[in-house]
Amino acid sequence: MADAPAVAQSVARFDDEGVVTGEAVALDVRPASAVIRAGGAVIDVLLSVLLFLGLLFAVSGLGIDQKGFQAVLIAGIVTCIVIVPTTVETASRGRSLGKLAMGLRVVRDDGGAIGFRHAFIRALTGVIEIYLTFGGLAVLVGFLNPSSKRLGDLLAGTHGQVERVPKLPSTAFAVPAELTSWAAIADVGRLPDPIARRVATFFVNAEHLSPESRARAAASLAVEVTPFVSPLPDAPAERFLAGVAALRRERDAVALALVDARMASLSPELTSTPPGFPER
């Protein structure tokens, strides 16, 4: 009984914000919709059919008898719809040609890469829900499940994850020109991180605010920032916040660059063995 909490913590779940692990860590991933997954499945099914037809074409020229042809037919079906998908998903850690085309990957519910067991269960269940029902069962279960899981995912403990996401536009900006002389002597290092994050969030959402709301939000943030900035520039609230945010980002970037340079200069000493120590 003492091990029950530890077991429970290793199980991930889905909520309205995405995937949450048993340790209450929200994973920044987006489960694939049923429509996108259906597109990838159609591509994979078509490739399996083409592979099967190619196998039949190759066997037809061998001149085998009827019983031998039936055995080859059954072996070809099992190979094309079970063995090949299982091998491909296991070797590629949840990918296939159809999933690559749609920008998807199959992962475990805790966000980790799938293994042979997961791929085999998915492929074996796919015989029923994809091939025998012409995809009807998979579509029905996928649309009824909030995470667009098909029956094979429910049995294997997996889900489809979108990996092809659009690149976020950069919101970085420089210190306003009228505050350049102030930036040379200003001290903004005492600004707390929570306030700095609120300032950054303000500039991300500023274009979506009305002029009145934007001015009120800038004035409110300027009041919070003022005690941690010296000297104070003679500038409107929003320009003042822009100067503080840009100056703090530039100085943080310089500090990180200096740290990287120091670590690079120490790299030979950090990676080398002590004098007289045997090389292994």
| pLDDT tens digits, one per residue of 64-96 | 778 888 888 899 899 999 999 999 999 999 999
Burial (Cβ within 10 Å: 0-12, 13-18, ≥19) of residue 215:
middle
C-alpha 15/C-alpha 109 separation (Å) is 12
C-alpha 209/C-alpha 220 separation (Å) is 15
Model pLDDT, residue 273: 74
From the list 51, 37, 38, the residue with the least C-alpha distance to 83 is 51
Q: Is the pLDDT of residue 30 over 80?
A: no
From the list 277, 186, 267, the residue with the least C-alpha distance to 226 is 186
Q: What is the mean pLDDT of residues 29-43?
A: 86
Q: What is the mean pLDDT of the chain?
A: 84
Q: What is the mean pLDDT of residues 176-200?
A: 91
Strand-pair partners of 27? 19
Report CA torsion sign: 252, 257, 258, 259: positive
Q: Residue 224 corresponds to which tokens in the numbers above?
A: 């919070």
Model pLDDT, residue 223: 94
Model pLDDT, residue 225: 94
Q: pLDDT tens digits for 216-229?
A: 999 999 999 999 99
pLDDT band at 28 (very low <50, low <70, confident <90, very high): low
Name the 3-class secondary structure at 92.
coil
Model pLDDT, residue 24: 45
User: pTM of the entire structure?
Assistant: 0.56
C-alpha 52/C-alpha 31 separation (Å) is 31
Residues 108 and 21 sit within 8 Å (Cβ to Cβ)? no
